[in-house]
Amino acid sequence: MQLIKVGMCAFGMSGKVFHAPFLKEHPGFFLAAVVERSKNDSQQKYPDATIYRSVEEMLQHADIDLVIVNTPVQTHFDYVKKALESGKNVIVEKPFTVTSAEAQKLVQLAKEKNLSLSVYQNRRFDRDFLQVQQVLASGKLGTLKEVEIRFDRFRPEPGTKEHKENPNLPGAGALHDLGSHLIDQATQLFGFPEKVFADVFSMKGNAFANDYFELILFYRNDLRVRLKSSVFTKEAHYAYILHGEKGSFLQERTDSQEDELVAGAIPTFHKNWTKPLTEPDAVLNFLNENSDTERILKQSEPGNYMDYYVQIYEHLIFGGSLPSPASEIVGNMRIIETAMKSSQEEKTVTLLREQ
């Protein structure tokens, strides 16, 4: 099997949980280099990876084909640009960049260099989202009228990460962080909306970056899609609520991959590395072909973030489709910007797809 040598720009939670374990278990990847500015934490599990003290040093000296930019969002543009200019293919963590202008510049640079640039939208591989896709594809809900997607937490105390909590840093806050997941799922399911109305602010106060948002996406066919997140949600809501002409679908957020990876689980190509559900996690209520009501309790099948790296490998080696290409995510960045503008101006704003 042809080997892809990988360099990772940081070894924090993202590197330890979402990237390194999958690179280790996929025989087509070799984690050759890791940037750790002062520690040597990667040595224990990844002793064959050379430690560098800066991204610049790694790009200059490491023998690598693919770079993972998993640093704070405020550094994404600079590091992705340097990696592309060094002739490396790139995976960049979400959120892609701080602004859509930065995102578009990187897409253009990757095109000029004939290199691959993918954004790590791992929530496309969550079990709950995959079940939503399956139900929509079945057509049982008929024409959709109203959708809500939520990602709630109960974190009343501020976090410790400056790049996420400091309101004076561009790209800080929940809208860029969790919003990049919800917006990506909405655009994957329904495409890009025409208009956006948003309410974005900090429930913890102005000393902190936004921790609450509610977006309403307006679509041509009168569909309304609401995206919402809060850090003051002790009792969980359904994560996905879909209402159509023929019925409704309510789906809990039940994917456990992140929690299990944090606890030390080893991912595999098989989806059974996660713990199985013990009860249904969704309700489908619809009118069947005879106009009779059917109410079905459903249980989602496991997702697997390994599928992302399988697709990356097949793209780089065999020319398969690139997962979450950066060119596709530029539009998501414009939705984030439009939402911020809407919230600031307290009005509905038309979405500009291109600038």
Q: Report the pLDDT value the prediction gives residue 31, as an integer from 0 to 100.
A: 98
Q: Report the pLDDT value the prediction gives residue 152, as an integer from 0 to 100.
A: 95
| Confidence label for 353 from pLDDT (cuts 50, 70 and 90) | low
- pLDDT tens digit sequence for 144-156: 999 999 999 998 8
Please determine, for residue 292, whether its predicted confidence score (pLDDT) is greater than 60.
yes
CB 199 within 8 A of CB 354: no
- Angle, CA 337 vertex, CA 346 and CA 184 arms, to 5°: 115
- List the alpha helices (DSSP H) in 236-300: 257-262
- pLDDT tens digit sequence for 230-282: 999 999 899 999 999 999 999 999 999 999 999 999 999 987 899 999 999 99
Please determine, for residue 326, whether its predicted confidence score (pLDDT) is greater than 60.
yes
Task: Please report the DSSP string for 104-170 in residue order.
Answer: HHHHHHHHHHT--EEEE-GGGG-HHHHHHHHHHHHTTT-SEEEEEEE---B--S--S-HHHH-TTST
Q: Is 51 helix (H, G, I), strand (E, B) or coil?
A: strand
Q: Parallel, antiparallel, or unpaired: how do β-strands 66-69 and 4-8 relate?
A: parallel
Structure tokens at 300: 């989602």
- pLDDT tens digit sequence for 171-218: 999 999 999 999 999 999 999 999 999 999 999 999 999 999 999 999
For the chain, domains (ranges, CATH) are 4-120 (3.40.50.720), 123-302+334-350 (3.30.360.10)
Q: Report the pLDDT value the prediction gives residue 354, as an integer from 0 to 100.
A: 59
Peptide bond into 95 cis (omega under 30): yes
Q: Report the pLDDT value the prediction gives residue 334, as an integer from 0 to 100.
A: 97
26 compared with 165, residue with greater pLDDT: 26
Backbone phi, psi, residue 218, to 5°: -100, 125
Please determine, for residue 52, whether its predicted confidence score (pLDDT) is greater than 60.
yes
Residue that the structure tokens 């790694």 belong to: 58
Spatial distance between the Cα atoms of 302 and 127, rounded to a whole number of angstroms:
5
Spatial distance between the Cα atoms of 277 and 301, rounded to a whole number of angstroms:
9
Q: Report the pLDDT value the prediction gives residue 163, as an integer from 0 to 100.
A: 87
Q: For the chain, what percent of residues have pLDDT higher than 70?
A: 99
Please determine, for residue 355, whether its predicted confidence score (pLDDT) is greater than 60.
no
Q: Residue 246 carries which side chain, given as an amino acid letter?
A: K
- Give me the mean pLDDT over the 219-223 stretch: 93
Task: Please report the DSSP string for 196-235 in residue order.
Answer: EEEEEE-TT-TTS---EEEEEEE-TTS-EEEEEE-SB-SS
Residue that the structure tokens 């879909």 belong to: 242
Q: Parallel, antiparallel, or unpaired: how do β-strands 240-244 and 247-251 relate?
A: antiparallel
Q: Report the pLDDT value the prediction gives residue 158, as an integer from 0 to 100.
A: 83
Query: Who contacts 61 (Cβ-Cβ below 8 Å, separation ≥6)?
Result: 52
Q: Report the pLDDT value the prediction gives residue 270, as an integer from 0 to 100.
A: 87
Please determine, for residue 305, whether its predicted confidence score (pLDDT) is greater than 60.
yes
What number of CA atoms fall less than 13 Å from residue 315's CA on the CB side? 19
| Confidence label for 160 from pLDDT (cuts 50, 70 and 90) | confident
